[in-house]
Amino acid sequence: MHEDVERVIVSRRRIAARVAELARQIAHDHAAPDGSPGEITIVPVLTGAMVFAADLIRRLPMRIRIGVVTVSSYPGRTVTSQGPALLHSGFGDLAGRNVLLVDDILDTGATLSMVHGLIQASGPATLRTCVLLRKIGRQSRDITADYIGFDIPDVFVVGYGLDFGDYHRNLPDIVKLRPAAMAGAGRHAEAR
Protein backbone atom coordinates (compact mmCIF):
# COMPACT_ATOMS: atom_id res chain seq x y z
CA MET A 1 0.00 0.00 0.00
CA HIS A 2 1.18 3.56 -0.74
CA GLU A 3 2.84 5.16 2.31
CA ASP A 4 0.35 8.06 2.37
CA VAL A 5 -2.69 5.76 2.49
CA GLU A 6 -4.52 5.17 5.79
CA ARG A 7 -7.12 2.72 4.50
CA VAL A 8 -8.85 1.51 1.37
CA ILE A 9 -12.46 2.65 1.09
CA VAL A 10 -13.34 0.92 -2.21
CA SER A 11 -10.91 -1.62 -3.66
CA ARG A 12 -9.98 -1.82 -7.36
CA ARG A 13 -11.66 -5.22 -7.53
CA ARG A 14 -15.00 -3.86 -6.31
CA ILE A 15 -14.69 -0.83 -8.59
CA ALA A 16 -14.14 -3.02 -11.66
CA ALA A 17 -17.12 -5.23 -10.83
CA ARG A 18 -19.40 -2.26 -10.21
CA VAL A 19 -18.30 -0.42 -13.37
CA ALA A 20 -19.27 -3.50 -15.38
CA GLU A 21 -22.70 -3.57 -13.67
CA LEU A 22 -23.28 0.14 -14.27
CA ALA A 23 -22.34 -0.28 -17.93
CA ARG A 24 -24.86 -3.11 -18.34
CA GLN A 25 -27.58 -0.97 -16.81
CA ILE A 26 -26.66 2.09 -18.90
CA ALA A 27 -26.56 0.01 -22.09
CA HIS A 28 -29.97 -1.45 -21.28
CA ASP A 29 -31.52 1.97 -20.59
CA HIS A 30 -30.10 3.56 -23.75
CA ALA A 31 -30.86 0.78 -26.23
CA ALA A 32 -32.78 1.92 -29.33
CA PRO A 33 -36.45 0.89 -29.65
CA ASP A 34 -35.45 -1.84 -32.14
CA GLY A 35 -33.12 -3.33 -29.51
CA SER A 36 -29.89 -2.14 -31.16
CA PRO A 37 -27.29 -0.51 -28.86
CA GLY A 38 -28.07 3.06 -29.97
CA GLU A 39 -25.84 6.09 -29.53
CA ILE A 40 -24.82 8.15 -26.51
CA THR A 41 -22.76 11.24 -25.75
CA ILE A 42 -20.71 10.90 -22.58
CA VAL A 43 -19.82 14.11 -20.77
CA PRO A 44 -17.21 13.41 -18.08
CA VAL A 45 -16.58 16.16 -15.55
CA LEU A 46 -12.82 16.68 -15.61
CA THR A 47 -10.51 16.17 -14.04
CA GLY A 48 -11.83 13.78 -11.41
CA ALA A 49 -14.07 11.61 -13.63
CA MET A 50 -11.45 10.83 -16.27
CA VAL A 51 -10.39 7.45 -14.89
CA PHE A 52 -13.94 6.31 -14.17
CA ALA A 53 -15.18 7.48 -17.59
CA ALA A 54 -12.26 5.78 -19.35
CA ASP A 55 -13.17 2.44 -17.76
CA LEU A 56 -16.91 2.91 -18.20
CA ILE A 57 -16.87 3.75 -21.93
CA ARG A 58 -14.84 0.65 -22.72
CA ARG A 59 -17.64 -1.44 -21.25
CA LEU A 60 -20.40 0.21 -23.31
CA PRO A 61 -21.50 -1.42 -26.56
CA MET A 62 -23.12 1.56 -28.31
CA ARG A 63 -21.75 4.27 -30.57
CA ILE A 64 -20.15 6.85 -28.27
CA ARG A 65 -19.21 10.49 -28.58
CA ILE A 66 -17.36 12.30 -25.82
CA GLY A 67 -17.59 15.96 -24.84
CA VAL A 68 -15.84 17.15 -21.73
CA VAL A 69 -16.47 19.82 -19.16
CA THR A 70 -13.85 21.01 -16.70
CA VAL A 71 -14.93 22.13 -13.25
CA SER A 72 -12.84 23.04 -10.23
CA SER A 73 -14.24 22.79 -6.70
CA TYR A 74 -11.11 22.28 -4.62
CA PRO A 75 -8.38 24.65 -5.75
CA GLY A 76 -4.97 23.62 -4.40
CA ARG A 77 -4.48 21.50 -1.30
CA THR A 78 -7.85 21.82 0.36
CA VAL A 79 -10.63 19.43 1.29
CA THR A 80 -13.31 22.11 1.56
CA SER A 81 -15.25 22.87 -1.59
CA GLN A 82 -15.12 26.51 -2.64
CA GLY A 83 -18.19 25.92 -4.84
CA PRO A 84 -17.91 24.68 -8.40
CA ALA A 85 -16.27 26.94 -10.98
CA LEU A 86 -16.69 26.11 -14.66
CA LEU A 87 -13.25 26.27 -16.27
CA HIS A 88 -14.02 24.92 -19.74
CA SER A 89 -16.88 23.32 -21.61
CA GLY A 90 -16.04 21.35 -24.73
CA PHE A 91 -19.14 19.31 -25.41
CA GLY A 92 -20.38 21.10 -28.52
CA ASP A 93 -24.00 20.94 -29.61
CA LEU A 94 -25.97 18.41 -27.56
CA ALA A 95 -29.39 19.22 -29.02
CA GLY A 96 -31.35 16.03 -29.66
CA ARG A 97 -28.64 13.76 -28.28
CA ASN A 98 -28.77 11.12 -25.57
CA VAL A 99 -26.38 12.49 -22.97
CA LEU A 100 -24.83 10.81 -19.96
CA LEU A 101 -23.16 13.19 -17.52
CA VAL A 102 -20.43 11.34 -15.60
CA ASP A 103 -18.83 12.60 -12.39
CA ASP A 104 -16.52 11.06 -9.84
CA ILE A 105 -18.40 11.90 -6.66
CA LEU A 106 -21.69 13.38 -5.58
CA ASP A 107 -20.97 15.43 -2.48
CA THR A 108 -23.27 18.43 -1.94
CA GLY A 109 -24.54 18.09 -5.51
CA ALA A 110 -23.58 21.65 -6.51
CA THR A 111 -21.32 20.47 -9.36
CA LEU A 112 -23.81 18.02 -10.84
CA SER A 113 -26.62 20.58 -10.62
CA MET A 114 -24.55 23.25 -12.34
CA VAL A 115 -23.40 21.04 -15.22
CA HIS A 116 -26.82 19.40 -15.54
CA GLY A 117 -28.38 22.86 -15.99
CA LEU A 118 -25.77 23.79 -18.58
CA ILE A 119 -26.41 20.67 -20.65
CA GLN A 120 -30.18 20.80 -20.23
CA ALA A 121 -30.15 24.29 -21.73
CA SER A 122 -28.78 22.88 -25.00
CA GLY A 123 -31.83 20.65 -25.48
CA PRO A 124 -30.65 17.01 -25.33
CA ALA A 125 -33.17 14.25 -26.17
CA THR A 126 -32.34 12.55 -22.87
CA LEU A 127 -30.01 13.51 -20.03
CA ARG A 128 -29.01 11.06 -17.32
CA THR A 129 -26.36 11.33 -14.64
CA CYS A 130 -23.85 8.80 -13.36
CA VAL A 131 -21.50 9.11 -10.39
CA LEU A 132 -19.05 6.56 -9.10
CA LEU A 133 -19.42 7.66 -5.47
CA ARG A 134 -22.06 9.33 -3.36
CA LYS A 135 -21.22 10.68 0.09
CA ILE A 136 -23.93 9.65 2.49
CA GLY A 137 -26.03 12.44 3.97
CA ARG A 138 -24.37 15.34 2.15
CA GLN A 139 -26.95 16.22 -0.53
CA SER A 140 -30.16 18.10 -0.15
CA ARG A 141 -33.10 15.80 -0.81
CA ASP A 142 -33.82 16.67 -4.43
CA ILE A 143 -30.31 16.00 -5.70
CA THR A 144 -29.42 12.50 -6.81
CA ALA A 145 -28.00 10.67 -9.83
CA ASP A 146 -29.55 8.06 -12.11
CA TYR A 147 -26.61 5.69 -11.70
CA ILE A 148 -24.58 5.47 -8.50
CA GLY A 149 -21.57 3.20 -8.00
CA PHE A 150 -21.08 3.24 -4.24
CA ASP A 151 -22.36 5.06 -1.21
CA ILE A 152 -19.42 6.03 1.01
CA PRO A 153 -19.11 7.74 4.40
CA ASP A 154 -18.37 11.46 4.58
CA VAL A 155 -14.56 11.20 4.44
CA PHE A 156 -12.24 12.88 1.95
CA VAL A 157 -11.10 10.24 -0.52
CA VAL A 158 -8.51 10.12 -3.30
CA GLY A 159 -7.48 7.66 -5.99
CA TYR A 160 -9.09 6.36 -9.19
CA GLY A 161 -9.11 9.91 -10.56
CA LEU A 162 -9.78 11.78 -7.31
CA ASP A 163 -7.02 14.03 -6.03
CA PHE A 164 -5.59 15.98 -3.16
CA GLY A 165 -3.60 18.98 -4.42
CA ASP A 166 -3.73 17.32 -7.87
CA TYR A 167 -1.86 14.23 -6.64
CA HIS A 168 -2.95 10.61 -6.07
CA ARG A 169 -5.31 10.41 -9.06
CA ASN A 170 -3.31 7.39 -10.25
CA LEU A 171 -3.93 5.23 -7.16
CA PRO A 172 -5.98 2.23 -8.37
CA ASP A 173 -8.13 2.02 -5.22
CA ILE A 174 -10.29 4.71 -3.63
CA VAL A 175 -8.59 5.49 -0.34
CA LYS A 176 -8.46 7.75 2.69
CA LEU A 177 -5.08 9.42 3.16
CA ARG A 178 -3.16 9.50 6.44
CA PRO A 179 -3.70 12.78 8.33
CA ALA A 180 0.04 13.54 7.99
CA ALA A 181 -0.21 13.32 4.21
CA MET A 182 -3.25 15.60 4.25
CA ALA A 183 -1.44 18.10 6.47
CA GLY A 184 1.30 18.41 3.88
CA ALA A 185 3.85 16.43 5.89
CA GLY A 186 3.87 13.61 3.33
CA ARG A 187 6.80 13.09 0.99
CA HIS A 188 4.75 14.49 -1.88
CA ALA A 189 3.91 17.75 -0.17
CA GLU A 190 4.04 20.69 -2.47
CA ALA A 191 3.87 24.45 -2.07
CA ARG A 192 1.09 26.09 -4.02
Catalytic residue among 103, 107, 146, 163: 107
Q: Is 163 a catalytic residue?
A: no
Residues within window 113-172 making contact with ligand XMP, judged by CB under 6 A: 156-158, 162-163
Cβ proximity to ligand XMP, 41 vs 73, nearer residue? 73
Angle between helices 12-30 and 50-57 (to 10 degrees): 60
Q: Per DSSP, what are the bridge partners of residue 158?
A: 175
Burial call 13-32: b when 16+ CB within 10 Å, e when fewer? eebeeebeebbeebbeebee
Separation of alpha carbons 158 and 105, rounded Å: 11
Residue from 9, 19, 40, 48 binding ligand XMP (CB under 6 A): 48
Each residue 50-89 as x (binds ligand XMP by CB under 6 A) or -, in order, gives -----------------------xx------x--x-----
Residue from 23, 55, 99, 104 binding ligand XMP (CB under 6 A): 104
Nearest to 48 by CA among 132, 134, 146: 132
Nearest to 169 by CA among 87, 67, 52, 61: 52
Tell the smallest beta-carbon distance from residue 33 to ligand XMP (Å): 34
Cβ proximity to ligand XMP, 74 vs 147, nearer residue? 74
Q: Which amino acid is it at 149?
A: G
29 makes contact with ligand XMP (CB under 6 A): no
Catalytic residues: 107
